[in-house]
């Protein structure tokens, strides 16, 4: 049967194509932009929202309680006093390189948030992933009477605590980086930990985890299957806690703390965010918890002056497909024969999170997709211009500053919102989500692929 005659979730392919131009582009693997028609003023959106600023502050305070522990257990966090936070960096040379490559001018200042260089696990997952393990460890320690309010959390780095945690286990399903964060953190605290890795996961990530005593189970299929298997195996063990990347609000809140930290960094750099100085943020999106959590925090902190976009590979555009069709996690890219194969292993997800799409609906400005070749090319541009080496996923956000010149839908959005002129005085921020732990040999291959494509 012709694929166009198939019925998918109650509609033919052609009916889906008629939903909106972005859906048609997605089904045909074309790069596209989708602007969210259901975004409402932030002040209203927060009113009907199940999570609040108090939840974000609670997460932030928890991370502060653990800071003395990190200083002791991970000496690389000493410079930031046990707080795992990434630099904010202006990237003027990359701005020039992007302008030349895209044959356009980029308005406003271009900045990068270097989660690629976060301590402990070198990706955005060092936020949510580590946070959820810490929360679980704190819960157990309180419950078992080993910890009291006001205690110095350096006690978590003791044989007594490690022996307690060795009776518990933690499981997670991952395309790689979440496994790295959960694995490293859990093993350090003394938990038994199993990481269920999808076929996309790089060998070096599996090797590194095994060297730290983590059990790595490998699957020939994609992320959803690794998560499902992990969840199933954890269910049969009452002492096993499963970090559920598809559904966890704890992960989400761990990510959201980034916004409070960014606000401080902006103040230190004298960067203003207001109606006259809008902030545009481009966030690489896999299942959605990381970029969704960060975007939620940004909306709470900066309100309507923060404009947030999810960025995905054309072959794994599950969040945009879910949001544009309104089907969220009921729909997968595979439903339309899209293969979910991408070099951006951190974004190789075919079905979005169970709650992020719906939860972020009143907040998000939009989504876009880009081809893998662009990520390679921008990876090489970034290395040459700023000497920052990233994994391909991290470059998905770098396409954001070019949307205005390439996609009429984005330009119309700017006009409608009255943002065109203000953008010149504002800030464009690209969230660089990973890369500092990629082995040199692997990085050279990425770089060479990019250079070859640039010609």
Ligand X SMILES: *Cc1c(COP(=O)(O)O)cnc(C)c1O
Smallest separation, CB 434 to ligand X (Å): 3
391 makes contact with ligand X (CB under 6 A) = yes
C-alpha to C-alpha distance for 23 and 349, rounded to whole angstroms: 17
173 makes contact with ligand X (CB under 6 A) = no
Selected binder of ligand X within 97, 193, 318, 394 (CB under 6 A): 394
Selected binder of ligand X within 433, 437, 438, 449 (CB under 6 A): 433
294 makes contact with ligand X (CB under 6 A) = no
Q: What is the DSSP letter of 41?
A: -
Choose the binding region for ligand X from 17-25, 40-48, 150-158, 281-289 (rule: CB under 6 A): 281-289
Annotate 406-437 with b (16+ C-beta within 10 A) or e (fewer).
bbebbeebbeeeebeebbeebbbbbbbbbbbb
Question: Percentages helix, strand, coil for the chain, rounded to the nearest 5?
Answer: 55, 15, 30
C-alpha to C-alpha distance for 404 and 414, rounded to whole angstroms: 8
C-alpha to C-alpha distance for 122 and 185, rounded to whole angstroms: 13
Query: What is the phi/psi pair of residue 229, to 5°?
Result: -65, -45
C-alpha to C-alpha distance for 206 and 209, rounded to whole angstroms: 5
Length of the chain: 455
Considering the complex, state which of residue 190 and residue 400 has its C-beta at the smaller distance from ligand X. Answer: 400
Selected binder of ligand X within 114, 287, 320, 403 (CB under 6 A): 287
Smallest separation, CB 284 to ligand X (Å): 4
Smallest separation, CB 441 to ligand X (Å): 19
342 makes contact with ligand X (CB under 6 A) = no
Considering the complex, state which of residue 31 and residue 157 has its C-beta at the smaller distance from ligand X. Answer: 31
C-alpha to C-alpha distance for 371 and 176, rounded to whole angstroms: 21
Choose the binding region for ligand X from 9-17, 104-112, 120-128, 258-266 (rule: CB under 6 A): 120-128
Choose the binding region for ligand X from 5-13, 52-60, 158-166, 288-296 (rule: CB under 6 A): 288-296
With CB under 6 A as the rule, give the number of residues binding ligand X.
19
DSSP one-letter string for 93-111: HHHHHHHHHHTS---SEEE
125 makes contact with ligand X (CB under 6 A) = yes
401 makes contact with ligand X (CB under 6 A) = no
Considering the complex, state which of residue 328 and residue 433 has its C-beta at the smaller distance from ligand X. Answer: 433
230 makes contact with ligand X (CB under 6 A) = no
Choose the binding region for ligand X from 22-30, 149-157, 300-308, 389-397 (rule: CB under 6 A): 389-397
Smallest separation, CB 376 to ligand X (Å): 15
288 makes contact with ligand X (CB under 6 A) = yes
Choose the binding region for ligand X from 44-52, 156-164, 286-294, 407-415 (rule: CB under 6 A): 286-294
How far CA 3 is from CA of 10, 13, 27, 314, 322, in Å, comes to: 14, 7, 11, 19, 20
123 makes contact with ligand X (CB under 6 A) = yes
Smallest separation, CB 349 to ligand X (Å): 6
Selected binder of ligand X within 68, 102, 108, 289 (CB under 6 A): 289
314 makes contact with ligand X (CB under 6 A) = no
Selected binder of ligand X within 114, 124, 214, 409 (CB under 6 A): 124
- In the region spanning residues 95 to 114, those forming contacts with ligand X, defined by CB under 6 A, are none
C-alpha to C-alpha distance for 120 and 131, rounded to whole angstroms: 12
346 makes contact with ligand X (CB under 6 A) = yes
Smallest separation, CB 6 to ligand X (Å): 28
16: Cβ contacts below 8 Å, ≥ 6 apart = 8, 23, 27, 325, 336
- In the region spanning residues 28 to 67, those forming contacts with ligand X, defined by CB under 6 A, are none
C-alpha to C-alpha distance for 359 and 363, rounded to whole angstroms: 8
276: Cβ contacts below 8 Å, ≥ 6 apart = 422, 425
Selected binder of ligand X within 285, 324, 382, 429 (CB under 6 A): 285
Choose the binding region for ligand X from 199-207, 224-232, 284-292, 439-447 (rule: CB under 6 A): 284-292
Joined together, the tokens standing for residue 314 give 């054309």
393 makes contact with ligand X (CB under 6 A) = yes
Smallest separation, CB 329 to ligand X (Å): 13
> Closest by alpha carbon to 22, among 412, 369, 406, 416?
369
Considering the complex, state which of residue 193 and residue 294 has its C-beta at the smaller distance from ligand X. Answer: 294
Considering the complex, state which of residue 305 and residue 391 has its C-beta at the smaller distance from ligand X. Answer: 391
How far CA 366 is from CA of 38, 49, 326, 398, in Å, comes to: 10, 19, 13, 15
177 makes contact with ligand X (CB under 6 A) = yes
Query: What is the phi/psi pair of residue 419, to 5°?
Result: -105, -5
C-beta of residue 55 within 8 angstroms of C-beta of residue 46: no
Q: 365 in helix, strand or coil? A: coil
350 makes contact with ligand X (CB under 6 A) = no
Unique residue bearing structure tokens 């009916």: 15
C-alpha to C-alpha distance for 407 and 377, rounded to whole angstroms: 19
State the chain's maximal CA–CA distance in angstroms: 66
**Contacts to ligand X by CB under 6 A:** 123-125, 177, 284-291, 346-347, 391, 393-394, 433-434
């Amino acid at each position: 049967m012709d694929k166009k005659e198939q019925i998918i979730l109650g509609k033919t392919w052609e009916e889906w194509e008629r939903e909106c131009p972005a859906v048609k582009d997605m089904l045909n693997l074309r790069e596209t932009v989708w602007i969210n028609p259901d975004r409402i003023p932030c002040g209203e959106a927060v009113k009907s929202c199940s999570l609040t600023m108090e939840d974000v502050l609670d997460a932030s305070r928890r991370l502060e309680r653990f800071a003395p522990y990190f200083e002791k257990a991970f000496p690389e966090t000493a410079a930031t006093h046990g707080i795992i936070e990434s630099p904010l960096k202006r990237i003027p040379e990359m701005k020039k390189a992007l302008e030349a490559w895209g044959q356009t001018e980029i308005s406003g200042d271009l900045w990068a948030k270097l989660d690629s260089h976060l301590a402990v696990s070198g990706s955005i997952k060092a936020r949510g992933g580590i946070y959820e393990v810490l929360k679980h460890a704190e819960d157990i320690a309180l419950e078992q009477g080993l910890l009291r309010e006001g205690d110095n959390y350096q006690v978590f780095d003791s044989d007594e605590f490690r022996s307690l945690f060795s009776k518990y286990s933690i499981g997670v399903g991952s395309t790689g980086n979440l496994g790295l964060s959960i694995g490293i953190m859990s093993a350090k605290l003394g938990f038994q930990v199993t990481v269920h890795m999808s076929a996309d996961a790089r060998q070096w990530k599996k090797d590194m985890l095994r060297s730290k005593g983590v059990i790595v189970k490998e699957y020939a299929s994609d992320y959803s299957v690794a998560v499902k298997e992990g969840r199933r195996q954890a269910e049969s063990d009452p002492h096993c806690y499963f970090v559920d990347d598809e559904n966890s609000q704890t992960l989400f809140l761990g990510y959201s703390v980034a916004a409070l930290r960014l606000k401080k960094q902006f103040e230190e750099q004298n960067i203003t965010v207001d109606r006259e100085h809008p902030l545009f943020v481009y966030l690489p999106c896999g299942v959605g918890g990381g970029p969704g959590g960060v975007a939620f925090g940004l909306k709470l902190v900066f309100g309507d002056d923060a404009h947030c976009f999810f960025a995905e590979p054309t072959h794994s555009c599950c969040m945009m497909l879910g949001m544009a069709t309104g089907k969220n996690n009921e729909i997968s890219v595979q439903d339309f024969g899209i293969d979910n194969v991408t070099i951006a292993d951190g974004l190789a997800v075919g079905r979005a999170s169970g709650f992020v799409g719906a939860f972020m609906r009143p907040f998000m400005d939009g989504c876009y997709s880009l081809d893998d070749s662009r990520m390679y090319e921008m990876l090489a541009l970034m290395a040459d211009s700023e000497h920052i080496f990233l994994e391909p996923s991290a470059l998905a956000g770098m396409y954001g500053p070019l949307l205005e010149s390439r996609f009429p839908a984005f330009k119309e959005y700017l006009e409608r919102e009255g943002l065109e002129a203000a953008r010149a005085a504002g800030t464009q921020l690209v969230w660089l989500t990973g890369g500092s732990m990629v082995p040199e040999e692997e990085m050279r291959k990425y770089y060479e692929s990019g250079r070859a494509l640039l010609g």
